[in-house]
Amino acid sequence: MSAVIGHEHDHDHAHGHGYQPGGIMRWVKTTNHKDIGTMYLWFSFVMFLTGGVMAMVIRAELFMPGMQVVEPERFNQMITLHGLIMVFGAIMPAFVGFANWLIPMQIGAPDMAFPRMNNWSFWLLPPAAILLIVSLFVPGGAPGVGWTLYAPLSVQQGMGMDLTIFAIHILGMSSIMGSINIITTVLNLRAPGMTLMKMPLFVWTWLITAYLLIAVMPVLAGAVTMTLTDRHFGTHFFNAAGGGDPVLFQHIFWFFGHPEVYIIAIPAFGVVSQVIPAFSRKPLFGYTSMVYAVASIAILSFLVWAHHMYTTGLPVTGQLYYMYATMLIAVPTGVKVFNWVATMWKGSLSFETPMLFALGFLFLFTLGGFSGLVLSIVPVDIQLHDTYYVVAHFHYVMVAGALFSAFAGIYFWLPKWTGHMYDETLGKWHFWLSMIFFNMIFFVQHFLGLAGMPRRIPDYAPQFTDFNMISSIGAFGFGLTQLLFLYVVIKCIRSTEMAPQKPWEGADSLEWTHLPTPAPYHTFETPPTVK
Amino acid sequence: MIGYATGLRAMDDKQVKRLKARNVRTALILLSVALAFFAGIIWRRWS
């Protein structure tokens, strides 16, 4: 990694830069990237718990056959909101939080390029989250259509659907503003000498993710706008009776939805690419190939959307194209997995909590990738479409992939953020309990899917009971384990024991090599020179 | 503004102005791409 010369600690000033409001107004008005990053991370955790409670309701209902906890309509609403809240409220903002905290520090910039817009990007999120949650309490309740919001069902829903559409518009605006900010920051505010190919991989992954967001969030906004006009303004985009086409919605949604998977996964790759070299005490193997692999994955993600739609009556040639194109993504993904393994090869490994979560990510995300390959095969997918196999697959990608990587990143950078070390023993407990309970929930769901249990149904045939009970017990355990995580973080923040400037021997990006711990409120007021 | 203005202390006024103009140009290009995607997808299906 790049060496840095000059300006040792001349940026350590947390005072004297004019008026700074205190109390709640500090957070409302702040334009500081660290404050905003912190708010994103806490917001995403609150949303994670909210979506988690909905998951508990879902798993309580599915604990045994028959109806237990909620009415079928409410169950469908839980399914919808759980998906929307976890994707748009929990995982995406978590990685935007990382981006806010780390990108300026890792490229030697004083802040994001548009700090006021950064504040606005964050503060759009709470109203959108409130709209989503309030939709549960309006007549007809929240939409019961699943997070994919498929027409024509979404056109027929109650006013909860309108609130959801409005929430998605707001979330989309927030994401686009955030992306513009990230791209502008990375392109224009890098320190002298910090060429693109010297940037830490986390910055690269976010640069590429931001481009993805700018390309696909407007497409989702377009899809839900058309749904809105179909609902209220007499258009027939998705209404077959009026000359429209419901399958059109699926094409537009998945043109957004498949890149969205990578919008979540690619920053996770970035975090893991920082953590594994640090605990292997070796530079990342194949840096250049990693950058090109991420870019290839991003480009390919635009070309495979209809693999979610094999059962809609695609022509065989179309099915073949989407099958092979989807399989092609395994190549750059494989490059990344092999590079992470090669980074560890003959490294001086140690297994602190961030490394454990990164390794958990590596094993389980790869498993999720494999089940994705299985689903890319048309005849197999036609059998498994809308079964629990699909639910298992994408949770291996979203939870074991993105969430475990976020945990790895939080444990890795907590000392830099708070100035204190977290409790290593409790961190390891958090990892192992998460690992065990996660697999309890989702590994068995592969078998349920293979046996034909459909998703998004509140009841099931009695032969599925045993695996569902295991899955539900795992879910309750996983939920409780995340309260342990909250305790570890709060304990770390309140700790009086100061962390060393560089607690991780192998960490080599600017925030570790050139900034004190905790990172001061203002950093790199004078840009460092990167050699 | 906290953060940004202080972060540009190393630059003179002219440099700051030039950087801000460059940032705005970059943002406008990106915003126009996003708006084109939004309008394009609806217009394509409208016509």
pLDDT in tens, A286-319: 999 999 999 999 999 999 999 999 999 999 999 9
Residue A404 class from Cβ within 10 Å (0-12 exposed, 13-18 middle, 19+ buried)? buried
Using CA atoms of A79, A85, A87, A89 in order, give the dihedral in degrees to the nearest 10.
Answer: 180
Whether residue A7 is contained in a domain is answered as no
Residues A311-340 have pLDDT tens digits of 999 999 999 999 999 999 999 999 999 999
A492's tokens: 């770390």
- What pLDDT band is residue A21 in, cutting at 50, 70 and 90? confident
CA-nearest residue to A20 within chain B is B2
Size of interface A-B (CB pairs under 8 A): 99
Whether residue A11 is contained in a domain is answered as no
Whether residue A144 is contained in a domain is answered as yes
Tell me which chain A residues have a C-beta less than 8 angstroms from the C-beta of B41: 218-219, 222-223, 252
Count of the separate structural domains present in chain A: 1
User: Residues A484, A426: contact at Cβ < 8 Å?
Assistant: yes
Q: How near does any CA of chain A get to the CA of B42, in Å?
A: 6
Q: Is A361 helix (H, G, I), strand (E, B) or coil?
A: helix
A250's tokens: 């699926």
User: Residues A154, A227: contact at Cβ < 8 Å?
Assistant: yes
Express as a percent the part of chain A with pLDDT over 90.
91
The distance of Cα A110 from the centroid of its chain, to the nearest Å, equals 26
CA-nearest residue to A244 within chain B is B45
Residues near A187 by Cβ (< 8 Å), separated by ≥ 6? B26
Residues B1-47 have pLDDT tens digits of 333 444 555 677 888 888 889 999 999 999 999 999 999 888 877 76
Express as a percent the part of chain A with pLDDT over 70.
96
Across A155-185, b (16+ Cβ under 10 Å) vs e yields bebeebbbbbbbbbbbbbbbbbbbbbbbbbb
CA-nearest residue to A217 within chain B is B34
In terms of phi and psi (left: phi > 0; alpha: psi -120 to 50; beta: otherwise), the region of A2 is: beta
The chain-wide mean pLDDT, for chain A, equals 94
How far apart, in whole angstroms, are the C-alpha atoms of residue A328 and residue A307? 13
Q: How near does any CA of chain A get to the CA of B1, in Å?
A: 7
Residue with tokens 């609902």: A231
Across the interface, of B2, B22, B45, the residue whose CB is closest to A17 is B2
Q: Which of A174, A227, A326, A405 is catalytic?
A: A174
Residue A297 class from Cβ within 10 Å (0-12 exposed, 13-18 middle, 19+ buried)? buried
Single pTM value for the model = 0.93
User: Residues A101, A413: contact at Cβ < 8 Å?
Assistant: yes
Q: How near does any CA of chain B get to the CA of A32, in Å?
A: 5
- Say whether A147 is catalytic: yes
Phi (first) and psi of residue A144, to 5 degrees: -105, 50
Note whether B3 contacts A180, CB cutoff 8 Å: no
CATH of the domain at A465: 1.20.210.10
Whether residue A12 is contained in a domain is answered as no
Residues A99-135 have pLDDT tens digits of 999 999 999 999 999 999 999 999 999 999 999 999 9
Note whether A176 contacts B31, CB cutoff 8 Å: yes
User: Residues A188, B26: contact at Cβ < 8 Å?
Assistant: yes
- Say whether A15 is catalytic: no
ipTM over 0.85: no
Whether residue A16 is contained in a domain is answered as no
Whether residue A9 is contained in a domain is answered as no
Q: Is A271 helix (H, G, I), strand (E, B) or coil?
A: helix
Q: Which residues constitute the domain of residue A99?
A: 23-530
- Say whether A420 is catalytic: no
Whether residue A51 is contained in a domain is answered as yes
Whether residue A14 is contained in a domain is answered as no
